[in-house]
Amino acid sequence: MAAHPKPMSAPQVRSYLQGPAWEWLTTVDHKRVAVLYGAAAVLFLIVGGIEAMLIRIQLFTPDNHFISAEIYNQMFTMHGTTMIFLVAMPLLLGCYANFVIPLHIGARDVAFPRLNALSFWAFLSGAILLHAGWLMHSGLPNAGWFAYANLTDRQFTPGLNMDVWVVGMLILGASSVLGAVNFFVTIVTMRAPGMTYMRMQMFVWSMLITAILILIAFPPLTVGIIFLLMDRFFGTHFYQVLAGATPILWQHLFWLFGHPEVYIVALPAFGIVSEVIPTFARKPLFGYPMMAYSIILIAFLSYGVWGHHMFATGMGPVADAAFAVTSMLIAIPTGIKIFSWIATIWGGSLRFTTSFLFALGFLLEFTFGGLSGIMHASAPIDLQQTDSYFVVAHFHFTLFGGVVMALLAGFYYWWPKVTGTMLNEKLGKLHFWLTIIGFNGTFLPMHLVGIWGMPRRTYTYGAEMGWTTLNEIETVFALILGLAFAVMFIDVFWTIFAGEKAPSDPWDGRSLEWSLASPPPAYNFATIPTVRSRDAFWVVKYGRAGSRGIAMLAQGRSPQVEPEGPPTEPIHMPAQSIFPLILALGITVAGLGLLVDYPRAMITALIVMVLSAIGMGFEYPTFGEETEEAHSTSADADVRKVGLWAFIGSECVFFASLIATYMVYKARNVAGPGADILEIPLTSFSTFVLLMSSLLMVLALAAVQRGDKMWTRVWLLGTVSFGLIFLGGQVYEFTHFYHEGLALQTNLFGQTFYTLVGFHGAHVAIGVIWLSVLTIAAFMGKLGKSRALSVELGGLYWHFVDVVWVVIFTLVYLMQQVKGA
């Protein structure tokens, strides 16, 4: 946690959440960032909902031309993209997790508050760019949310449509990874004293595993999109059959992300339901350990099931069988969770609030969607259902019936804590029943119409197909579903203007957030709580079995526990910062510059981004110092160190995706120079230089740790020099190959080699910049023993770049004669 000494006075606390626009633009408070995420996501929910309604109106009658086929393509592409990336993820991760996790673990903020703000502004930047198509002649992205190659080839999508998608998605991906690093580090290192892993709320468990899943699932997508960007902007042929490439590569990279993505949104939904059900059943969550282990198992298995989206591509019987087995296995931990929720409800003292009703709705609809999912795990059945409306029905039962129901359960559950007001329960229940009716009426018939052969993404259909009645029913019920959300918005507006004030613990809750005022103060906890059991606040209120509290519960009474008063001592909270917003603006301008081919704008934006990043670093008053906060972690390492390691872990998967592509495409190279062009003597020298730079780096660390300023400078300068020599060697190598006739666009070998080695070189360049800043600080006398951590962090990154090169040197250079896959 940042440690800027800024004591919160009582008036400041009172004015909290009522500040001017500037306060919001510069906020780094996790609760405000959560509200910003929530507001943006709701806006995009409306956009995505309108897109869905346009799709349903188009399919209302046969041979309909309400919208054109091109607009229809844009609508289903943007509906999927919007609902997944701009609604579900920002709501679950950006809004709910941001608000709740620090409160659940007894922390005052997330591990990296500025990074948290940057995640939001970068998300908004990506979302705006995705919708830039509204202002462009070519229109919105139009090749589906999955963007299958080679539909996305410039030849078939010549306009800016998919350019916008590529740039927007890259930014959204970066935002998600930053957020995941933040949540991971927060949960691992910032839990209150006594809060062991097995005492965490199940929502925290689900977010911990979701963060890990994001870190390992997004890199393959990033690599796939980088290839697509290079194909569209720089004339490479990563997905072009004529060049020897295969569009199947995109499907693998996309679904390596795409199926874990289902669980990236489902696991937090499981977490929400695991909070709501015990609260309103007034029972502890049944089978807590198995619930936690199930989340881990689901996440692990989810990374090995991507192939079930590709049965129709002909992966072969062994791969089909393997993916079928893993896909079926995932039903076991999911089943454990469903039975545990039922067992929690069983025998409970139930209160049918709106939140609880939505949790029940989740249980019913998600189970239904899960059952049709098991069908898709079977390759022969899946081949019959692929690309039919049956699949549309299935994933809406899991994503709407599951994720959206859970989101709504969480919305009604945490709204009082976020805003300090109570939503109207009668309107809430009307919202629930309209949702259940509208949802089932819309998506149940899709199973039938899918089995009858109606293909998904079809613009229109003939009356003779016999699909008309069911499509009419679906559209009518979709309107009812839209009406349900209208009721929710009425409820929200009514509450904002005339809502009843919420007490601190309106639901007789079990977790720590209910011990705080509604809304909580900026610092969350005046005193960091010491946790002695699961459901910590419940135990505070009622005690353990046999105590007075249990007797009160039996009488249906709830003990009133007043939230703690203002802090008696100053609390150190992170200062507000404008740099995350400026950096995100730079990202937006750079993205736009790339889209409209305006290099000046891109260069200016890049400079702004670099300066903002440096500004963010240097406004941190204890940059590189081992602070008291950094010591008081629940893990055995510094917060920043855990964060860097998490990022490095994600980078491992990124480079593995690049290396795999290189090895696959090396064997498919059809013309021009191949791997035999590589020069071992030069590269051996570069390898020696990089390995020695790592030695100098650790010597610099040892010197700074013992307070030896002179040798710190010498070794750091040596590391930077060796890094520059390595980069010089790479520039020479690339130039030499270019003159030998191997350009980026020449063939599959050229594009994969330059991309892989070039990305490594870019990492080396970033490392050189990082270490140069440290070297300058050392020469200015600002790199003393107390800042050894900053040298250690720079060193970690540098050594990672080194080990990646160890792998590249072997697999790319020394195995040049070995045929690829």
Return the residue of 14, 65, 351, 532 that touches other proteins, per CB under 8 A. 532
Return the residue of 264, 265, 295, 660 that touches other proteins, per CB under 8 A. 660
* C-beta contacts of 667-671 below 8 A and 24+ residues apart: 667/819, 667/820, 667/821, 668/244, 668/245, 668/246, 668/748, 668/820, 669/244, 669/747, 669/748, 669/749, 670/243, 670/244, 670/747, 670/748, 671/747
- With b meaning 16 or more CB within 10 Å and e meaning fewer, what string describes 331-368? bebbebbbebbeebbeeeeeeebbbbbbbbbbbebbbb
Q: Are 586 and 609 in contact (CB under 8 A)?
A: yes
CA torsion sign, 697 to 702 to 705 to 706?
negative
| Closest CB to other proteins among residues 569, 636 | 636
- Of 324, 269, 273, 271, the closest CA to residue 301 belongs to 324
Instruction: Round to whole Å and give the CA distance between 337 and 287.
Output: 9
- With b meaning 16 or more CB within 10 Å and e meaning fewer, what string describes 748-781? bbbbbbbbbbebbbebbbebbebbbbbbebbeee
Annotation marks residue 4 as catalytic:
no
Annotation marks residue 491 as catalytic:
no
Residues 7-46 binding other proteins (CB under 8 A) are none
Residues 239-258 binding other proteins (CB under 8 A) are 241, 246, 248-249, 252, 256
- Of 754, 727, 730, the closest CA to residue 673 belongs to 754
Tokens of 315: 């992966």
Rounded to a whole number of angstroms, the distance between the first and last alpha carbons of the chain is 46
For residue 65, how far is the Cα from the chain centroid? 37
Annotation marks residue 679 as catalytic:
no
Annotation marks residue 79 as catalytic:
yes
| Candidate list 175, 435, 511, 633, residue with the active-site label | 175
Return the residue of 33, 315, 360, 583 that touches other proteins, per CB under 8 A. 315
Instruction: Point out which span in 346-354, 420-428, 575-583, 807-815 binds other proteins (CB under 8 A).
Output: 807-815
Site mask, other proteins, residues 316-345, x = CB under 8 A?
x-xx--------------------------
- Of 455, 442, 447, 793, the closest CA to residue 620 belongs to 793
- Of 329, 327, 347, the closest CA to residue 394 belongs to 327
Residues 345-374 binding other proteins (CB under 8 A) are none
**Shortest spacing between CB 462 and other proteins, in angstroms:** 31
Return the residue of 637, 677, 714, 717 that touches other proteins, per CB under 8 A. 637
Return the residue of 37, 120, 205, 303 that touches other proteins, per CB under 8 A. 303
Amino acid at residue number 195: M
Size of the site for other proteins (CB under 8 A): 83
Instruction: Point out which span in 127-135, 346-354, 750-758, 800-808 binds other proteins (CB under 8 A).
Output: 800-808
Check residue 639 for interaction with other proteins (CB under 8 A).
Answer: no
> 3-state DSSP call for residue 106?
coil
Check residue 653 for interaction with other proteins (CB under 8 A).
Answer: yes
Q: Which residues, including other chains, have CB under 8 Å from residue 314's CB and lie 6 or more apart?
A: none
Annotation marks residue 176 as catalytic:
yes
| Tokens 């991971």 sit on residue | 184
Return the residue of 57, 479, 695, 724 that touches other proteins, per CB under 8 A. 695
Annotation marks residue 394 as catalytic:
no
**Shortest spacing between CB 162 and other proteins, in angstroms:** 22
Q: Are 345 and 279 in contact (CB under 8 A)?
A: no
Annotation marks residue 14 as catalytic:
no
**Shortest spacing between CB 259 and other proteins, in angstroms:** 13
Annotation marks residue 340 as catalytic:
no
Annotation marks residue 755 as catalytic:
no
Residues 424-483 binding other proteins (CB under 8 A) are none
Residues 211-240 binding other proteins (CB under 8 A) are 212, 215-216, 220
Check residue 115 for interaction with other proteins (CB under 8 A).
Answer: no
DSSP secondary structure, 50-71, as one string? HHHHHHHHHTSSTT--SS-HHH
Return the residue of 151, 451, 490, 698 that touches other proteins, per CB under 8 A. 698
Instruction: Point out which span in 299-307, 331-339, 590-598, 725-733 binds other proteins (CB under 8 A).
Output: 299-307
| Closest CB to other proteins among residues 445, 729 | 729
Annotation marks residue 137 as catalytic:
no
Site mask, other proteins, residues 188-207, x = CB under 8 A?
x----xx-------------
Residues 664-693 binding other proteins (CB under 8 A) are 664, 667-668, 680, 684, 687-688, 691-692
Tokens of 26: 């510069």
Return the residue of 585, 608, 652, 717 that touches other proteins, per CB under 8 A. 652
Return the residue of 338, 517, 699, 724 that touches other proteins, per CB under 8 A. 699
Residues 150-189 binding other proteins (CB under 8 A) are 188
Annotation marks residue 739 as catalytic:
no
Instruction: Round to whole Å and give the CA distance between 83 and 41.
Output: 9
Annotation marks residue 30 as catalytic:
no
Residues with a catalytic annotation lie at: 79, 109, 145, 175-176, 259, 261, 263, 274, 308-309, 334, 337, 456
